[in-house]
Amino acid sequence: MGITVKRLSYGIGAEVLGADLTRPMSDEAIAQIRKAWIDNGIVLIRDQDITPEQHIAFSRRFGVLDDHSALFKYRHPEHAEIFIVTTRPNADGSPSNTRETGVNWHSDMSYTLRPAMGSLLYCLEIPEVGGDTQFANMYLAYDTLSNGFKRLIEPLQAVHTYAWAIHDTEKGRNPEFAKAHIAVNPPVTQPMVRVHPETGRKTLYVSEGVTTHIAGMTHAESQAILQPLFAHAVRPEFTYRHHWRLHDLIMWDNRCAMHKALRDRLPGTHRHMHRTTILGEPSGALYQEAQ
C-alpha cells in the first residue's frame, strides 16, 4: 500500500498512512512524508514498533540530528541522539528529572543559537487515561493578528532562556543539576516574527515556556505585549490535542508549531517517550542585557 495523508484537525496536523519505519524507505516515500510535514506542521505515524536504532535512522532522513549536548543529563545512555522524556521514577526511587518537561507551551531548543528544525517523539508507554500533547499552529497565530500588532512586533527581538523553562521543583530539588544546564544554555534573543526558510511564510515565534521578555524593554513593559500573544497563539481553533497510543510517532516542525505536554495522567501511571531532534538553521544571538 502506498502512502496517503489525512488531515488531523482544522488547525494543524496530518496523519500519514501506509508507512513502515521498520523497513528501509524509498526517497520517494520520505519526500511524501516530508511534504506532509511541511504542509501541515505535524505528522502522525501510528503503529510503529521500532528500536532506538530505527528511530534514529528514520529521523536522519530529514536532517542532521542533535546530540542533545544542551540537555546532556537527559540523553539515552547508549544513543546521544535520543532525549528521554519520562515520568517514571529514577532507579533510586526519586522523581524523574523530566516529569515536568514541556508542560508549558514552547518550541524545542528556541533557547539555543540553533533552534530545532524538527522533533520526532515516539511513545513507549502511555497511561490508559491522559498523557496527551497539544500542538499549536504559529502560522495561524501570526496571520490572524491585526495589521497594527504585526507592525509593532515585526522588528522586535524576544529573550529566550533555558532558566525560564526549568521548573521550580527541579531548581529546588537539585540546584547544581539545574545550574549545570543553565551554564551551557545562556539566554539568547530570537526574532518575534520568524520567516520559515522553506515556505517563506511568517510565523509568530514566542512562547510562555521559554520567552522571558522583549530585548530593550523591562519585564513589566514586555508583558503588555507578550501576554496577549501567548493567549492568542493557542486559541482552540489553532490547536490539535493528541491522545497517544502505544507506538505512535509524531514529527513536528518547530519553526511553525508549538507544543505542550499535559498533566492529565491518573496518579501512579506513567508516560515514557523517546525524542530525536533535527538541527535547524542558526538563529538569534546571545543576549546582552543593557547596562
Find the catalytic residue in 55, 68, 79, 106.
106
Average of pLDDT values for 122-148? 97
Among residues 141, 104, 136, which one has the least CA distance to residue 228? 141
Among the options 108, 213, 253, 265, which is catalytic?
108
> Quick check: 264 pLDDT over 80?
yes
Question: Strand, helix or coil at 213?
Answer: strand
1 pLDDT tier (thresholds 50, 70, 90) = low
> What does the chain come to in residues?
291
All domains of the chain, ordered by start, with CATH? Answer: 4-281 (3.60.130.10)
Predicted pLDDT at 91? 83
Q: Say what the pLDDT of residue 178 is.
A: 61
Specify the range with the lowest mean pLDDT, choosing from 168-177, 178-187, 194-203, 247-256. 168-177
Name the pLDDT band for 169 (thresholds 50, 70, 90).
Answer: very low
- Ranking 147-161, 177-191, 273-287 by mean pLDDT, the lowest is 177-191
- Give pLDDT, residue 78: 87
Q: Of 99, 213, 242, 275, which residue is the catalytic one? A: 275
Pairing of strands 14-17, 42-45: parallel
Where b means 16+ CB within 10 Å and e means fewer, 39-60 reads ebbbbbbbebebebebbbbbbe
Check residues 91 and 106 and name the one with the higher pLDDT. 106
Residue type for position 250: I
C-alpha torsion angle, residues 98, 101, 107, 111 (rounded to 10):
-70
Better-predicted residue by pLDDT, 80 or 162: 80
List alpha helices for 64-197, DSSP H. Answer: 138-143, 147-153, 162-165, 168-173, 175-183
* Mean of all residue pLDDT scores within the chain: 92
- The answer to whether residue 176 scores a pLDDT higher than 70 is no
The per-residue pLDDT for range 10-28, each reduced to its tens digit, is 999 999 999 999 999 999 9
Question: Is-catalytic flag, 272?
Answer: no
Taking only the tens place, the pLDDT of each residue in 54-63 is: 999 999 999 9
> Cβ distance 269 to 128 under 8 Å?
yes
Burial class of 71 by CB neighbour count within 10 A (0 to 12, 13 to 18, 19+) = buried
- The pLDDT value recorded for residue 101 is 84
Query: Distance between CA atoms of 5 and 26, rounded to whole angstroms?
Result: 17
Q: In this predicted model, which residue has the larger pLDDT, 73 or 36? A: 36
Question: Out of 76-85, 129-138, 164-173, 237-246, which region has the weakest mean confidence (pLDDT)?
Answer: 164-173
Q: How confident is the model at residue 154 (pLDDT cuts 50, 70, 90)?
A: very high
Mean pLDDT calculated for residue range 173-198: 81
Considering the candidates 68, 79, 181, 259, report the single residue annotated as catalytic: 259
Active site annotation includes 259? yes
Residue 124: is its pLDDT beyond 50? Answer: yes
- Indicate if the pLDDT at residue 168 is higher than 50: no
275 is catalytic: yes
Alpha carbon distance 135, 11 (integer Å): 9
Torsion sign, CA atoms 120, 123, 129, 130:
negative
Query: Strand, helix or coil at 40?
Result: helix
Where do the H-state alpha helices sit in 144-254? 147-153, 162-165, 168-173, 175-183, 219-233
**Parallel, antiparallel or unpaired: strands 157-160 and 211-214:** antiparallel
- Confidence (pLDDT) at 175: 61
Q: What is the mean pLDDT of residues 255-277?
A: 94
Q: Mention every residue, 6+ apart, whose C-beta is less than 8 A from residue 281.
A: 114, 117, 197
